[in-house]
Amino acid sequence: MRQLRKDAGLTLIELLVALVLSSILIAALYRTFISQHKTYSAQEQVVDMQQNARAAIFRVVREIRMAGFGKVAGEYVPGVGYVSRILPVQFTGTKGETIIYRNILNRDTPYPGWLTLIAAVNSGGHTAELLGVSSRFQIVVDKVNVEKDPPFLNNANKRYISIDGVESNVITNITEENSGSTKGYLLTLEHPLQYHYESRALNEPGALIFPITAISFQLGTREEIGSGKQPIVENIESVTFGYFDGHGNATLDDRAVRMVRVVITARTERPDPSVKEKEGYRRREMASNIQIRNLALIP
């Protein structure tokens, strides 16, 4: 009898106590897991938000800094100042409306809160090479890509060009021209060439031809004339611009702008229950002062 008592199992009370203690421990672990998971999710959103803000401001800063590239502002004439060959530029909007930009930087254009800049696009997919110079008013450029050529050069929104980035001009006529097996465009220009350029030789690049276009920024979107809107990044809540002259003073004259201050506010994708204000969203604000390098020498 004593041996049987010695080998007896747990009593019901002991089992209930063990279950209660296990439940309390599991509940504590679960609450810790949920808390850590919420913290991780919130921090992950914060990281994504910061990355979005950095990506947006990097893209905007890079392109605004290049405003006027391609000698859009023109050449300096003693006693007169800088005289542009192409400004003001005139484009056709998506609805067929005529849009005129008179300056390199155009605030509140085409809509309030927007900034539109005029610059030569110097990406690889948008450039052609000079094949030859027929006269001071005519040049021949290669066909970069037969399928991409129609939007690259035309008589509507793609008639403003920069030659090797050192002078700008306006195309008045475009015709195809074949030189042996090489297909190209014969471009008739509105203004005579100012400089001598090297044509493409065997295995050697020639002078580059850049299209000059209008690029607009507003609230996380980028719009190039004739191409429609493209989102820069997601979850950008606001983009504001400030304009300053060469002395750092705020200016209302677009022609006097030498620095642009851009402020971008990004928010998390989803609200955080632990944030009791601002609809529960976490936000980050980034700002940058952009010196317009192509306007630095213009008085």
SS3 for 199-264 is CCECCECCCEEEEEEEEEEECCEEEECCCEEEECCCCEEEEEEEEECCCCCECCCHHHCCEEEEEE
How confident is the model at residue 272, as a pLDDT? 72
Whether 130 and 51 share a structural domain? no
* Number of separate domains in the chain: 2
Banded pLDDT at 2 (limits 50, 70, 90): low
How confident is the model at residue 97, as a pLDDT? 83
- pLDDT at 106 > cutoff 90: yes
Q: How distant, in Å, are the alpha carbons of 57, 196, 230 from that of 49?
A: 12, 49, 19
Whether 70 and 210 share a structural domain? yes
Q: Which of 178, 206, 232 is the last residue of a domain?
A: 232
Banded pLDDT at 1 (limits 50, 70, 90): very low
How confident is the model at residue 144, as a pLDDT? 59
Give the predicted TM-score (pTM) of the model: 0.77
- Residue from 254, 237, 236, 234 nearest 245 by CA: 254
Q: Which of 232, 266, 284 is the last residue of a domain?
A: 232
pLDDT in tens, 23-37: 888 888 777 777 666
- Tokens standing for residue 7: 């080998």
User: Please, what is the average pLDDT of the chain?
Assistant: 81
Q: How distant, in Å, are the alpha carbons of 11, 210, 213, 282 from that of 218?
A: 73, 25, 17, 21
Whether 187 and 262 share a structural domain? no
Burial of 265 (0-12, 13-18, 19+ CB in 10 A): middle
- Residue from 122, 47, 57 nearest 289 by CA: 57
Q: Which of 196, 213, 232 is the last residue of a domain?
A: 232
- pLDDT at 89 > cutoff 70: yes
Which of 19-23, 72-76, 213-217 is most confident? 213-217
Would you say how long the chain is, in residues?
Answer: 299
How confident is the model at residue 110, as a pLDDT? 83
Whether 280 and 238 share a structural domain? yes
Whether 34 and 156 share a structural domain? no
In a domain, 2, yes or no: no
In a domain, 158, yes or no: yes
- Tokens standing for residue 40: 């991780």
Whether 195 and 247 share a structural domain? no
Domain that residue 192 falls in: 66-232
- Residue from 132, 117, 191 nearest 161 by CA: 191
Residues 232-259, mean pLDDT to the nearest whole number: 88
- Residue from 193, 224, 223, 189 nearest 207 by CA: 193
Whether 212 and 175 share a structural domain? yes
Banded pLDDT at 102 (limits 50, 70, 90): very high
How confident is the model at residue 124, as a pLDDT? 55
In a domain, 4, yes or no: no
Whether 87 and 206 share a structural domain? yes
User: 200 and 131 in contact (C-beta within 8 Å)?
Assistant: yes
pLDDT in tens, 184-224: 888 999 999 998 887 776 667 778 888 898 999 887 788 88
pLDDT in tens, 127-171: 788 888 888 999 988 865 555 555 567 667 788 999 998 999 999
How confident is the model at residue 116, as a pLDDT? 93
How confident is the model at residue 297, as a pLDDT? 65
pLDDT in tens, 229-239: 777 777 888 88
CA distance 104 to 244: 14
